[in-house]
Every structure is written in structure tokens, then in C-alpha cells.
Amino acid sequence: MVATYCDETEPDYSALRLAMVRKQLESRGIRDRRVLEAMRVVPRHRFVPEVRRYAAYEDMPLEIGYGQTISQPYMVGLMTQMLEVQPTDRVLEIGTGSGYQAAVLASLAREVFTVERVPELARRAQQTLYELGYDNVRVYEGDGTHGLPECAPYDGIIVTAGAPHVPESLKQQLAEGGRLVCPVGPRGMQHLIRIVRRADGFCEEEGIGCVFVPLIGADGWNEP
Ligand code: SAH
């Protein structure tokens, strides 16, 4: 008999998603109700290449091609919570990758701008976001270490690649009261940094250790 692929063999993704939120996010201290709800709804498996979909809700990052990864669910939840996204916010993401983080942000913010340097990933993410009906996300191709000055300022900026330092242009594109979250440190080992822009300057705090693929660009790392 020839094995055929059919819908009946599909795992129950929505049950896997609820379990992911309970076991990987709530149990580890992610408390923001809007973040938890968004991650119960956004179909993460649709952002993962088909051959790896079976693992979409597991507790790890996954390869998405071109040497890049979709972040671990916990890291997406934690960084999104640190960003304190409000429904009226305009948010900038650097490192679109699969588009999953952008979809989570799009569920929470008014508008999301996301920049990706690998053209094929930018195109694929845009297609996935379009198919799923996220009409408040705009995907840009280019070097996000410059930010996206034409749409600045932003209430939130999230960098989802590891940077040697927080790019200065990104800080300058934050609105007053705006939050920026970025992994900073040597290649292969960073810490999350959270910066808040106040009327009288920037206030910076350090979060947990993490490992991200490198932020490559004019104000990031050189080519791999
Ligand atoms: N947020 C993504 C995961 C990002 S992986 C998701 O939800 O799937 C990091 C991404 O940052 C990779 O796709 C990589 O190509 C991209 N990247 C690295 N340097 C960049 C730069 N200077 N500008 C924009 N994107 C960059």
C-alpha cells in the first residue's frame, strides 16, 4: 500500500499549542495575559518548514533554512513580555526569519514593521503572514542594523539576532517611553538587554543569557 498524506494524519496542533503555553511559558513565569493568549492562537507550525512541523511546539529553536532559526517558544514569550506591547503600539522587529515573532507582535500591536536581510526568508515570511491574514505587518528586506527610519519612531523595537552592541540607530528610533529588547554579547552567547527611552535619556537593564544567530550588518557582525 502506498502511504498518502492526508489531513487526518495531522497532529492536533491546537492541543499541542495549549500544552506549549502551559508547560513552557506559564510554568516558567511568563505572566502577561495578552502574550499568553497570542501564543495560544498564532499557528507556530505554519512558520516552520514542513519537514520539521512535527517539532513546531517543542521546547527548542528550529532550523528554517539559510543557516537561520525560529526562536524557542519561551524566548519569544519572554522577549515579547519584556517589550510590554500595547494595542496602540507601532513595533519594529529586526530579523523577520520565519515571521512567527512578527505574527505574535501583530496580535498585540497596532502595526508591525519587520526587517530581514535574507531575501528568500523575507519573501517566505511575507507569504506566510499574508496567507494567515496578518494585515498589520509589513516585511522589509535589508540591513536592519540601520533600523527603519522612514517609519520611526517606534513604541517597541525587538532584535531577534545576537548583536555585538545595541545599534545606535535603533535607540534613536525609539519613541519617548518606548522599549527596546536585544540580545547582546559575543557570537554564540548573549544576554537580553532592555532599554527604555525616557525624556532625560536611556535606562538599561540586563536579562537572562541566551543564544541567537548573529546580527549581520553595518552596525552588527561581519558576514559569517
Ligand atoms: N524572529 C524570527 C527568528 C529570527 S532568526 C522568527 O520568529 O522566526 C534571526 C534572523 O535575523 C535571521 O533570519 C537572520 O537572517 C536575520 N538577520 C541577521 N542580521 C540581520 C540584519 N542586519 N537585518 C535584518 N535581519 C537580520
Residue 122 falls inside a structural domain: yes
143-169: average pLDDT = 98
Position 113 scores a pLDDT of 99
Residue 49 falls inside a structural domain: yes
Mean pLDDT of the chain: 96
**153 preceded by a cis bond (ω within 30 of 0):** yes
Containing domain of residue 181, as a range?
13-210
For 79-132, what is each residue's pLDDT tens digit? Answer: 999 999 999 999 999 999 999 999 999 999 999 999 999 999 999 999 999 999
Residue 5 falls inside a structural domain: no
Ligand 1 lining (C-beta closer than 6 Å): 68-71, 94-95, 97-98, 100-101, 115-118, 121, 143-145, 160-161, 213, 215-217, 220
Q: Is the separation of the CB atoms in 47 and 128 below 8 Å?
A: yes
Number of domains in the chain: 1
Q: Residue 66 half-sphere exposure, CB side, CA atoms within 13 Å? A: 15
Catalytic residues: 71
Whether the pLDDT of residue 9 is over 90: the answer is no
Residue 172: strand, helix, or coil: helix
CATH number, domain at 31?
3.40.50.150
Residue 3: strand, helix, or coil: coil
191-199: average pLDDT = 98
Residue 220 falls inside a structural domain: no
Dihedral of alpha carbons 164, 169, 170, 176, sign:
positive
Residue 192 falls inside a structural domain: yes
Give the number of the atom of ligand 1 that is nearest the alpha carbon of residue 97: 13
**What is the rounded CA–CA span in Å between residue 163 and residue 67?**
17
Residue 114 falls inside a structural domain: yes
Position 203 scores a pLDDT of 98
pLDDT band at 223 (very low <50, low <70, confident <90, very high): confident
Whether the pLDDT of residue 6 is over 90: the answer is no
Chain centre distance of CA 148: 16
Residue 140 falls inside a structural domain: yes
Whether the pLDDT of residue 217 is over 60: the answer is yes
Residue 153 falls inside a structural domain: yes
28-34: average pLDDT = 98
